[in-house]
Chain A
Amino acid sequence: MKVRHKARRRAVAFVTICLLALLALPALAVYEDGTHYCGGTQTAWAQSLTNGNTKVWPPGDSQYTYYSLGTGSLVSKRTHSPYGNGGGYWKVSTDESLNDPGTYPGCSNYG
């Protein structure tokens, strides 16, 4: 009986430690990236569907836009590169959730 109580206490302590360790972990970041090229008379953009602290680097642009989107609904954003930059590498990152089908690059025929 005594042995059984000891085992139970160990199990409870183990679970508690695991849960505390989990709580102490920083939120995992997730990101989606790729390359996307557009014509010289087009505007490249990155569409994102995320929440959390989100950074969007549109195709071929070294500037990014930051959005504080919290833990509520997923929010869609379209972030443009400078007109006619031709596109290139793009990236969307967040510390909460990213909807993959809702996150993709594209080109538009207007400036």
Chain B
Amino acid sequence: MRSVLVLTAVALVLSACSAVTTTTIPASSGPSATIGTSEPEVHSQDDQNAGEATDIPVFEGTLQEMIDAYRECFRSLGYDIVQVGPNAYKTVGLPDDREVAEEISDTCTERVGYQASRPVPGTADEIRARYRELVDLRACLIGEGYDLPPAPSEAAFVEGFPNVEFSPWNDLPDQLPESDYASINKACPYQP
């Protein structure tokens, strides 16, 4: 009897942990002017043809160094990227064949990796700490001369987390020169 209880507890722990790892919300169609479309589908990595890199190393370095490493990787394969945000890049010149393009993308992801994920804030104190980091990032960006909209209140952020959007990077002007994003990361370093 006890072993049954233990196994049940383990199953509950495992399912609870996997639910925290990846979250999706059931499908619904988005508000869009549509000429023709198929119903969007949500998949997990277990699906066939997921097209996702599976062995992704941890990148030991800053966010800017990681983006620069991706640039180097794509260039070594004959392609390129353009940095489109402090935390973003867009590929340039990948082949029209989407399967080939995704393979090239996966190659660089497997070579470069991603920064280690920070723990998901779970308690109110952890969410408040994350909020204060974002407030500091916003203040730094304003100090660099960028005009940003007001931050949400701490109470609203904590209560609505993770659905209250507060991303100072997202509020930066579009299409800044690439060098500006590198300067931002140097002046206001932040790991999301």
Contact = CB atoms under 8 A, between A and B. Distances in A.
Contacts of A1: none
A107 B97 CA distance: 22
Interface in A20-61: 22, 26-39, 42, 47, 51-53, 55, 57
Interface residues of B, number: 80
A69 B88 CA distance: 9
Contacts of B30: 47, 101-106
B42 A37 contact: no
B13 A34 contact: no
A63 B121 CA distance: 32
Interface string B73-111: 000000000001101111111111110010001000000
Interface of B: prevailing SS = loop
B24 A73 contact: no
Interface residues of A, number: 63
Interface string B41-68: 1111110001110111000000100100
Interface string B7-47: 00110011001100111111111111111111111111110
Contacts of B170: 75-77
A70 interface: yes
A70 B114 CA distance: 10
Contact of B2 (A11, A68, A97, A108): A11
A104 B117 contact: no
Contacts of A67: 85, 87-88
Given A64-B90, A70-B118, A71-B117, A27 B21 contact: yes
A67 B17 CA distance: 25
Interface of A: 7, 11, 14-15, 18-19, 22, 26-39, 42, 47, 51-53, 55, 57, 62-77, 87, 89, 91, 93, 95-109
The 10 A-B residue pairs with the shortest CB-CB distance, nearest first, are: A104-B30, A70-B192, A106-B32, A37-B36, A97-B23, A34-B40, A68-B87, A29-B52, A29-B45, A11-B6
